[in-house]
Structure 1
Amino acid sequence: MAQDEGGGQLSQSIAGRRTRIMTGAALSAVLGLGACGILPRIGPSKGEIYEGSVLRSGDAFVVEVNDRVTRATAVVPALTFDRHFLAAGAIGADTIRPGDVIGLTVFENVEEGLLATGGAGAAALPELQVDESGFIFVPYAGRIRAAGQTPEALRRIITARLDEQTPDPQVLVQRVAGDGASVSIVFPGAGSSVVPLQRATRTLLPALAAAGAVPANPETAQVTITRAGRSRSVWYDELLREPALDIALRDGDAIVVDNPPLSFTALGATGAQTQVRFEERTTSALEAIAQVGGLSPTTADPTGVFVLRNEAEPVAAQVLGRGDLQGAQRMIYVLDLTRPNGLFEARDFLIRDGDTVYVTEAPYAQFTRIITSITGAATAATGLPDTLAGG
């Protein structure tokens, strides 16, 4: 029996030694993984982002946000028409074009006239369509060019032709609905319309009104016109405010009224990691954070709010105070919400379409994750001898 007890104590001693060795190995492994950054985490640390600066080993400019940077980057995307569109004059409302339909009434002062027979005194030709070459055919007057004429000018031409064959003819010319000059207006996802260019629809705004073009969100809606292979866009709300943007239209113009997918991406220690659509043309960094549920109360580092953006050369040059930049630059703007004016800076700093807002984890959160991994590994290592013994 003594030998059995001694043997049992020896087995327990060996098992305990194994436990300590295995626990130590597990702790060393977890600590090693934590030091190497292999443990699961939401993204790069603040130090790793700073390492991406051009001053170190990266290719991005890391800039701390202040009042000067906020002013330099407060650039709302500008959209406007160029001279090609702005300089185009309004087309005469009465100008006849190929595809238009002309109505003629001819009055004659004889009982049996050329066109008016049976004592009617007048003959009606209600639908004469202007062909693709711009001509119409009038009996006894022949083929007459109508395109480019006003109804009054066309009336005089037809009267002169008929006057050679009937005494003192009186001619009435009217334009009626036809498939002449028109523009197409498209609302992606909501249909399209073809609007004829008439007296009331010679410019952009009346044509949109005639088509019922009311965007779902006027704040972010754009109006794009394509003419002769050239496309230009304006913001819908600016079109309503600026009379100069109510440009003259041309036959064949293609107009698209749409809300483009303006958005930013939120990542890191925020309430949600997602892509967020703009409700307005721009939003502030503070509003962007609020839209994704704010900073995570258990993991976020309020000193490490980063905004990643490809900045246009003129803006980047002004932010960095440099004149040697070429092309768009990768910029990382840093917001520290714990500074005395940090919240004001975040409120004033504009987020633009395509930006990425990334919030780093607090060092405490990383430390807690390592400790949790250590305690979990230690527990598993402690129970391993029992598992082996039971096997």
Structure 2
Amino acid sequence: MVSGLQTYNLPAQGEYKTDLGTTVNVVPLNQNTISAITPIKAENITNYAALFNTQQHIYKLASGDVLSIQLWNYPEISPPVATTTNEQSVQAYGYPIDQEGYIYLPLVGRYLAQGKNLTQVNKEVRQLFARYLKSPDVVVRVITYQGKRYSVQGNVQKGGQFYLNDQPVNVYAALGLAGGVTTTGDNTSVVLVRQGQSYNLNTVALEKAGYSLNKLLIQPDDTIYVNAKADNKIYLMGEAGKNQALPMRDQGMSLSDVLGEGLGIDATAASASKIYVVRSDLKDKKTTIYQMNLSNIGDLAIANQFVMQRNDVVYVDATGLTRWQRIVNQIIPFSSTLYTIDQLGK
């Protein structure tokens, strides 16, 4: 008979299934359980650590790159390098690496350049020309880098495709090349898609864990997506001072922050012992409900330690007396109407 969200059927702790088939795990918040709840799951730390590979960056040539090859003692053999910035002119004068990874050299013929660095190419090309020329002084350079691409999308000024070169590019540098994050973008919520797997990069949480995005280098075919601030909210419902959707702060928020932004809990209607945080895992399709008992003011420290995540729902339940009063308030007008109708019929 009681309207609104119901919590009477929640177990004190453990898993259960709702009537709609949702698997829910209820976790009571206390000093023993709070330490196990972190912004980044412990089992994913290894995956994040593997991303931050600081090995030396050596560019390997790829199909689409354009090379210049100069034979200083034989200028008639090698084509001149165009000085114009026009991309088509550069390709016309240089040596583009074809789709199979080859370039075509005078005297030598086809040469496989793909997958090799410039040091290796200079050495091999010099050896090849030495078969036909006396003491060839060969210098191979890259005119344009168009072989290895990555993409920056989402809430950035100039989203699109970009090219890697011999200088390493980290995530922050890639965002800068895309014009930076827009006013609607959330610079703390970045998704990296690499080899079919998505990594949610909470920049604040990663920095605190010792993983700076300055050290996360972009690889070919990576995609960076910057989420919108509108997608990064916390929802406050129930007997709070103000029900609302709160934008997540860049530095993160605790449960105390959320309750404070919502003007606290209603002193006349709220049950301080029944404050819930509903958190869903879209991958596992499971829901966790954290139950907080704030009846004792000393336990506010636990609320300060509980770190909120995007799309969390905070629900403040009503007291039993409040629910009963609302039932009575609904019944009295209805019973008065029935009495009036009965009197009119007499």
TM over 0.5, yes or no?
Answer: yes
2:236 matched to 1:266? yes
Which residue of 1 is the match for residue 202 of structure 2? 235
Distance (Å, rounded) in 1 between the aligned partners of 2:330 and 2:118: 88
2:253 matched to 1:283? yes
**CA 86–134 in structure 1, closer or farther in 2 if over 3 Å, else same:** same
TM-score by structure 2 length?
A: 0.71
Which residue of 2 is the match for residue 105 of structure 1? 70
If each structure's helix is expressed as a fraction of its own residues, which one has the higher value?
Answer: 1
Report the CA distance between 1:281 and its aligned residue.
6.8
Distance (Å, rounded) in 1 between the aligned partners of 2:274 and 2:319: 8
Letter in 2 for 1:185: V
2:328 matched to 1:358? no
Which string of whole-angstrom CA distances, capped at 9 and with x for unpartnered residues, describes residues 308-353 of structure 1?
Answer: 4579xxxxxxxxxxxxxxx97855513233x242434433334444
Q: Determine which structure has more spread, i.e. the larger CA radius of gyration.
A: 1
How many residues align? The count is 320
Instruction: State the percentage of identical aligned residues.
Output: 16
What's the secondary structure of 1:366's corresponding residue? helix
Which residue, 67, 70, 76 being the options, matches 2:39? 76
Which residue of 2 is the match for residue 341 of structure 1? 298
Which residue, 224, 244, 262 being the options, matches 2:192? 224
Task: State how 1:1-391 maps to structure 2 within 5 Å.
Answer: 38=1, 41-44=3-6, 48-49=8-9, 65-72=29-36, 74-78=37-41, 80=45, 81=47, 85-86=51-52, 89-93=55-59, 95-108=60-73, 115=77, 124=80, 126-163=93-130, 165=132, 168-187=135-154, 192-214=159-181, 216-218=185-187, 220-227=188-195, 229-237=196-204, 238=206, 242=211, 246-258=215-227, 261-280=231-250, 282-309=252-279, 331-337=289-295, 339-384=296-341, 387-388=344-345
Which string of whole-angstrom CA distances, capped at 9 and with x for unpartnered residues, describes residues 182-204 of structure 1?
Answer: 32232357553333222323554
Distance (Å, rounded) in 1 between the aligned partners of 2:294 and 2:332: 33
Report the CA distance between 1:176 and its aligned residue.
0.7
What's the secondary structure of 2:98's corresponding residue? coil
Letter in 1 for 2:249: E
Letter in 1 for 2:186: N
Distance (Å, rounded) in 1 between the aligned partners of 2:160 and 2:286: 39
Letter in 2 for 1:97: A
What's the secondary structure of 2:110's corresponding residue? strand
Q: Which moved more, 1:166-175 or 1:357-366?
A: 166-175
Report the CA distance between 1:102 and its aligned residue.
0.9
Q: Mark the runs of 5 or more structure 2 residues left unpaired by the alignment.
A: 82-92
Which string of whole-angstrom CA distances, capped at 9 and with x for unpartnered residues, describes residues 350-383 of structure 1?
Answer: 4444543222223443343344345424432443
Report the CA distance between 1:42 and its aligned residue.
3.0
CA contact (8 A) 1:205 1:246 kept: no
Letter in 2 for 1:44: Q
**Structure with higher RCO (Cα < 8 A, 6+ apart):** 1
Which string of whole-angstrom CA distances, capped at 9 and with x for unpartnered residues, describes residues 215-241 of structure 1?
Answer: 7333x31341413x3444433343696
Distance (Å, rounded) in 1 between the aligned partners of 2:133 and 2:40: 66
What's the secondary structure of 1:221's corresponding residue? strand
Distance (Å, rounded) in 2 between the aligned partners of 1:236 and 1:350: 15
CA contact (8 A) 2:239 2:316 kept: yes
Which residue of 2 is the match for residue 18 of structure 1? none
What's the secondary structure of 2:151's corresponding residue? strand
Q: Mark the runs of 5 or more structure 1 residues left unpaired by the alignment.
A: 1-37, 116-121, 312-326
Report the CA distance between 1:128 and its aligned residue.
1.1
Letter in 1 for 2:144: A
Which string of whole-angstrom CA distances, capped at 9 and with x for unpartnered residues, describes residues 130-187 of structure 1?
Answer: 1122221122332222234444544454455445555555443221113112322323
**CA 140–345 in structure 1, closer or farther in 2 if over 3 Å, else same:** closer
**CA 53–142 in structure 1, closer or farther in 2 if over 3 Å, else same:** closer
**CA 388–182 in structure 1, closer or farther in 2 if over 3 Å, else same:** same
